[in-house]
Structure 1
Amino acid sequence: MNSAVPQPASAAAPRRDTRSPLQRLLKGIELAWRRGFFRVLAGIIWLSDRLPRGPRVPGPQRVLFLRPDRIGDMIVSTGVIRAIGGAPDTVLDVLAAPGNATVLAAEPAVRRVHVLNRRRFADLRAAVRTLRHERYDVVVDCMPTAPSVTILLIVLAIGARRRVGTRGRGLDHILSPATPSLPLESHIVDHLSLLVPPFRPDAATLDLSPVLVLTSDEQAGAEQVWEADKSRQMQITKNASTRLLVNISAGKAARWWPASSYAAVVAAARNARPDLQVLIMCAPNERDRAEELAELTGAGIAPTGSLRSAMAIAGAADVVFTPDTSIAHAAGALGVPVVDMLLFGKESGWGVYRPLGENMESPTDQLQDLGPEQPSAALLRVLSRVAPQRARGHATPVT
């Protein structure tokens, strides 16, 4: 059984904002311009809006939750999506992007997932036509901290009687209701949780942590990946009973971390835990880096498959070590302790939510400026709380 319990992150190294004064000034001007633009756009829409809006009417309601963006955004929204979908007399659909739609493939609280490619106007027009035909009673704006032009236009085009979103973004007068807002530095899950009270009077008592559901076949496939690698690794580690997944996929150049740093972390972990089985995960375009790290450490490389198979492999690990990508949030949502390396200023808002492991930040906006010492120490602390040969299977299987 997993013996890890939530622990506070270690004291962070001194951090600094590497932007120049001019860059900070320009960023401030950009944010002010965006706020003004949305207030003007919302005002124009409000003047021409003739939709009857108001409190919920009795009876069943059809709800559309908008999340046509990134994989990580969908994963951190899953607890909120489940809470809304579980509300009495509610039928919940989700508007997703091609890249994140499969996150909800086995989620029982969602009736249907619509897929929208925001980069193609023809797809946007077709999606709006389809969504209007569904006659939703409520549409939920998924951007609780900063509005999106595309999301705003979709919200308005759907024609729902109620529009749920957070206050303070210049859109209050076109929402019904506009829920309270939180300080910007709050975690994104806490921001998203503000969307639940209009549907659930018991919202304050709910655990809205991200949650993923894997099928039995997906879990079995992940077990096969780990077991297939185990015989090879036992040539290095005779008692390979504790699984460490090292995800090196960076997503963005700023989150790139040197192979030598990963190798140092793996070496420190193996010294402390001789029973360690190490598996490397990478995106297809980072295979060369994975092979370099495998050469340095003797670790195996997980097969490159679908997003669902990658999440299942992470869910079958005992600990995951990763830069801040969707795999970090997926592992956390599957109950796996994660050591998550984030860029400067990102931990409070985008670290793994209520982690069983530890979140930490680089001292700058480049992950390569974070040396291996702090991550190694964090991983050793997390490994010390994980019992070997624990029961497998983090997610609730469905058939």
Structure 2
Amino acid sequence: MKILLIRRDNIGDLILTTPLIATLAGQKNTTLDLLVNTYNKDVLEGNPHIGKVHLYCKSHHRKSGQTLLGVYFQRLKTILAIRFARYDVAIVGSTDKRPLQWAKLSGAKRIIAIGDKPLECVTDMIARQKGQHIVEQLNGLSKPLGIDQRPGPLELYVSEDEVAQMAKKYHVDRSKPVYGLQISARKPQQRWQVEKFIQLAQRLSTREACQIILFWSPGAEDNPEHPGDDSKAQQIVDACKDINLIPLPTGNIRELMAAMSLCDQIITSDGGALHIAAGVQKPVVALFGNSDADYWGPWQVPCAIIKAPSDNVGLVHVDDVYSQFTGLRERVLSPV
């Protein structure tokens, strides 16, 4: 059986699909290929469960010097490649218009999707189930193929060389506890204030001899396409000169995966970075504002989830985060 799994959305969504990838690829006589976008493809590097990876470039993700005509030409080549592959099944995570278009273009005999209303092009519609984590919901896409097994952990594959290079480049001393503070969040209600990150970093450093790695989305805040937090990160660096804080501006997703692999524990708001932390199997303290923690929470890693009052992470107190962070650390070090 030849399966095409279509996941052309955000980085976090693709990471959350890795248990389904393992489930599908683990079946006998099955070939699993993926259609992903050029922005999220790097999370699949090293994944042993995948055959061919078809790439889709969104127009606003094209590289410097790449013309729009070139993007469309590459898209045509991808369409022909998936058509000639003759897939038996195409699987999409939702009934959104564009993923379904790709499923139909594949010419697959069966199309499996998650949705609430029947669609003529979808042969197997999986109804949304209340109370499910997104990983459980995605794994349900395998049921029409006669597969019924619980999803495993998120799977990201980072080489020892990648991790060692990041440790060497930024002088990370792994003989001490290494904690990651990830300060960026796309949604305003998911953001914690700079001064609170400063207080937390200083309190953790006072508590024990540790190294703190500062993560953020690089770039200027006023960049309309990819707003960054360089100015916020600099404020934290300036205020934390007396502690062992390492600013680590990751230039790409592989660097972020490798750098997070260096950490013993990480704090971040809900978003792609949260799922990267879980994907490299790190204990995580997750701040949730106006997103559903039951649906988007850390999957199968030791964690502490802080649901913000009034759905606003900015209202969370430093004392609460410090208590949850240190409590999680103690549970990890002394499991029952």
Same fold (TM over 0.5): yes
Verify: 1:102 aligned to 2:42, yes or no: yes
Verify: 1:156 aligned to 2:104, yes or no: yes
Shift of 1:225: 4.3
* Post-superposition CA distance 1:116-143 (Å, at most 9, x none): 1244782544432321122111100122
Structure 2 distance, partners of 1:225, 1:386, is 28
For normalisation by structure 2, the TM-score amounts to 0.85
| Equivalent residue, structure 1, for 2:252 | 306
1:312-327 matches, cutoff 5 A: 312-327=258-273
1:257-272 matches, cutoff 5 A: 257-272=192-207
> Contact 1:344–1:363 at 8 Å: present in 2 too?
no
Aligned partner of 2:212 among 266, 274, 278: 278
> Contact 1:181–1:194 at 8 Å: present in 2 too?
no
- The structure with the largest alpha-carbon Rg is 1
- Between the aligned residues of both structures, percent identity stands at 22
* Post-superposition CA distance 1:258-309 (Å, at most 9, x none): 111111222332343x122111012211222112112222311114232111
Verify: 1:291 aligned to 2:267, yes or no: no
| Equivalent residue, structure 1, for 2:321 | 375
| Equivalent residue, structure 2, for 1:141 | 92
Structure 2 distance, partners of 1:330, 1:84, is 21
| Equivalent residue, structure 1, for 2:330 | 384
| Aligned-residue CA RMSD (Å) | 2.3
Gap change, CA 1:294 and 1:387, over 3 Å in 2 = farther
Structure 2: which 5+ residue stretches go unaligned?
Answer: 60-67, 220-228
Structure 1 distance, partners of 2:23, 2:194, is 41
Paired residue type of 1:219: V
Shift of 1:336: 0.7
Structure 1 distance, partners of 2:180, 2:34, is 31
| Equivalent residue, structure 2, for 1:246 | 181
> Contact 1:118–1:124 at 8 Å: present in 2 too?
no
Shift of 1:247: 1.0
Structure 2 distance, partners of 1:210, 1:240, is 27
Shift of 1:165: 2.0
1:1-399 matches, cutoff 5 A: 61-119=1-59, 122=72, 124-143=75-94, 147-166=95-114, 168-171=116-119, 173-183=120-130, 185-199=131-145, 201=147, 203-204=148-149, 206-225=150-169, 228-230=171-173, 241-272=176-207, 274-285=208-219, 286-297=229-240, 298=243, 299-387=245-333
Shift of 1:338: 0.4
Structure 2 distance, partners of 1:290, 1:245, is 13
**Structure 1, 73-82 or 119-128: larger mean CA deviation:** 119-128
For normalisation by structure 1, the TM-score amounts to 0.72
Count of equivalent residues: 311
